[in-house]
């Protein structure tokens, strides 16, 4: 971990390894290491930020601590806990970039070529608690993308003043291709190789790619 040029925390189910993922998010945040969180990777980034930046030491997800004092990740209200089968938020859904100064200039929006809305595939039952979002954004963790239907479901986060600290509730790996990489993955690799700023400025960086990156 200490030698990594970039850190990716993927999705997952169950409590096993969650605290280690929280520590990975903390290391990336504090040491300016490029970070990409996917699904659970977004949720652990929120848990870490809540605990160590927002003064919520007992922050957790209700998936792992149902009665925790600071539920920063919660079960989605429309999901049925008792009916078996088809109980996840699935499929391609639109994410709308927010009309804020930070969101308009965010690295992830630029990587999506300035699109106002993107369609990505989902697979989850838990989400960021919308009641905590104001506190997070006040400390620099911005939710630049939210669901297009209600605007209350957090889809993309980006941390201010960091080379690349991005996470998505959706699964960009479902649509990425070898010759057409998904923007979140492209951003992670460019940031890990020190080329993201040049790429976003429109410079040709393909001839400078470092093939010895440690991820």
What positions carry a catalytic annotation?
39, 171, 173
Give counts: helices (H), strands (E), the chain. Answer: 7, 10
CB 207 within 8 A of CB 47: no
CB 142 within 8 A of CB 106: yes
Q: Which residue has the tokens 């010895």?
A: 212
Report CA 70 to chain centroid distance, whole Å.
20
Q: Which residue has the tokens 């106002």?
A: 116
Residue 56 class from Cβ within 10 Å (0-12 exposed, 13-18 middle, 19+ buried)? buried
């Amino acid at each position: 971990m200490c030698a990594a040029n970039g850190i990716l925390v993927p999705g997952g189910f169950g409590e096993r390894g969650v605290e280690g993922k929280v520590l990975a998010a903390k290391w990336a945040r504090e040491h300016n290491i490029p970070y990409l969180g996917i699904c659970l990777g977004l949720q652990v980034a929120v848990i870490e930020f809540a605990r160590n930046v927002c003064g919520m030491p007992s922050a957790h997800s209700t998936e792992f601590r149902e009665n925790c004092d600071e539920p920063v990740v919660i079960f989605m209200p429309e999901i049925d806990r008792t009916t078996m089968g088809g109980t996840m938020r699935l499929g391609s859904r639109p994410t709308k970039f927010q009309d804020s100064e930070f969101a308009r200039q965010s690295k992830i929006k630029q990587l999506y070529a300035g699109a106002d809305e993107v369609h990505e595939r989902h697979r989850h039952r838990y989400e960021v608690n919308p009641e905590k979002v104001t506190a997070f954004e006040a400390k620099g963790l911005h939710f630049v993308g939210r669901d297009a239907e209600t605007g209350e479901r957090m889809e993309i986060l980006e941390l201010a003043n960091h080379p690349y600290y991005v996470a998505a509730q959706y699964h960009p790996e479902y649509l990425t291709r070898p010759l057409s990489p998904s923007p979140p993955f492209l951003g992670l690799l460019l940031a890990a190789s020190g080329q993201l700023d040049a790429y976003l400025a429109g410079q040709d960086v393909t001839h400078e790619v470092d093939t010895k990156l440690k991820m």
